[in-house]
Amino acid sequence: MNVDVLVVGAGLAGLRTATLLARHGHDVLLAERRPRLDGAIRTTGIFVRRTLDDFDLPPQCLGPPIRRVVLYPPSRRRPVTLVSERDEYRVGDMAALYADAARTAAAAGVRVLLGTRYEGRGRSSYLLVGPDGPLRVRARFVVGADGARSRVARDLALDRNEHLLTGAEEVFPVSASDRPPTFHCVVDPALAPGYLAWVVDDGRHAHVGVAGYVDRFPHGMRQALSRFSAAAPGLEGVERPGGDGEVERRGGPIPVGGVLRRISCVDGLLVGDAAGAVSPLTAGGLDPCLRLSEQAAAVLDDALRAGRPDALAHYDGASLRAHFRGRLALRHGLARVRTPVAAAAAFAVLRTRPGRAAARRILFGDGSFPNRPGQPSTT
């Protein structure tokens, strides 16, 4: 098969990039190893205000707005509550969002192959293996949208994510009540070493999760999640589903080392998690993956129109990375919170007026991933 662009991975980054390229009139093949896009979901799906403002996400696929964040120290005593005057977050129904994005891609002309794994690169073609067996694809460019441990990055000899957190969560329906939609975050290195444990309760679903450096969970991540889930803040008295089948389990790696420097070469480029496009501090990757996909599609469109693969050199992770120096420094700070005493000390700062102001800037700020190199931003 001959195509203009082979996109590997149908997460939001791959779906978005493929759709934009097809709308520019290019012949695009999108290969995804998952047989269904509503299975094996790897994200909580919290979208921040800037994404909701700038991208047309179907409103029926979004939960109720959340304005309230509660931050807890390990003791859970004297939590810090922050309430925004604006709607800050909405949790996506990710199965419905992926399905909608796949329909949009197909309508734009993208050929979507599900259950089809990218296996590697030959001398003049790429090897896919799908339900009907192997398929060799010749493509002018390949896009690695294949997540944090990108095989495409390896095959193109581009940079690869080395600084990773791992997250896991349980998702279950909750019945409506007068609880205000709330994002609860617990800073406790025993439960979530180097990151947070969270409960997101928007009144329709609860997401209960932990994330951290996988080798630092004292008794493993699974045990940390069940311990946290058993005493999750904000869910006291909330009825949990009876059967295990009603609880969806999600999880996966989260690259937090910042945008990788080398994310393109003459044969292709990386988007989304494959490019390390995740906020090093908040670990939010949905806004970055959508914005970086726009840049990738624009650069590939230029290269295809001009017939000049060197146009991809403009797609440069090093210049994007420069925006994240402050956040990378804060990530290293968070990684150093290794004991409950250190976490409690961080809360003493958080309870001061400047501490609360800084937390509000991080949680409710107007930043986003840069749309183009040189543009101010950062979440």
Distance in Å, CB of 198 to ligand FAD, minimum = 9
Which 17-76 residues touch ligand FAD, going by CB under 6 A?
Answer: 31-34, 42-46
Residue 8 makes contact with ligand FAD by CB under 6 A:
yes
Instruction: Kindly state the number of chain residues that form the binding site for ligand FAD, as judged by CB under 6 A.
Output: 37
- Paired with 168 in beta bridges are 210, 251
Residue 256 makes contact with ligand FAD by CB under 6 A:
no
Q: 116 vs 235, which CB is nearer to ligand FAD?
A: 116
Stretch that binds ligand FAD, among 141-149, 182-190, 225-233, 262-270 (CB under 6 A): 141-149
Distance in Å, CB of 304 to ligand FAD, minimum = 22
Q: 9 vs 233, which CB is nearer to ligand FAD?
A: 9
Residue 206 makes contact with ligand FAD by CB under 6 A:
no
Distance in Å, CB of 228 to ligand FAD, minimum = 13
Give me the 279-298 binding string for ligand FAD, x by CB under 6 A, dash otherwise: -----xxxx-x---------
Distance in Å, CB of 120 to ligand FAD, minimum = 9
Q: How far is CA 74 from the centre of its chain?
A: 26
The contacts of residue 146 (CB under 8 Å, 6+ apart) are: 8, 9, 14, 118, 152, 274
Strand pairing class (126-130; 89-91)? unpaired
Q: Calculate the CA dihedral of residues 238, 243, 245, 247 and round it to 10 degrees.
A: 20
What's the rounded Cα separation, in Å, for the pair 148 and 255?
6
Q: E-strand spans in the chain?
A: 2-8, 28-31, 46-48, 68-72, 80-83, 89-91, 111-113, 117-121, 126-130, 133-144, 164-173, 182-186, 197-201, 205-212, 248-255, 264-265, 268-270
Residue 327 makes contact with ligand FAD by CB under 6 A:
no
Q: 189 vs 272, which CB is nearer to ligand FAD?
A: 272
DSSP 161-173: ---EEEEEEEEEE
**Which residue's entry shows tokens 């299975």?**
39
Which 99-128 residues touch ligand FAD, going by CB under 6 A?
Answer: 117-118
Which 156-195 residues touch ligand FAD, going by CB under 6 A?
Answer: 167, 169
* Contacts to ligand FAD by CB under 6 A: 8-14, 31-34, 42-46, 117-118, 145-147, 151, 167, 169, 209, 250-252, 254, 272-273, 278, 284-287, 289
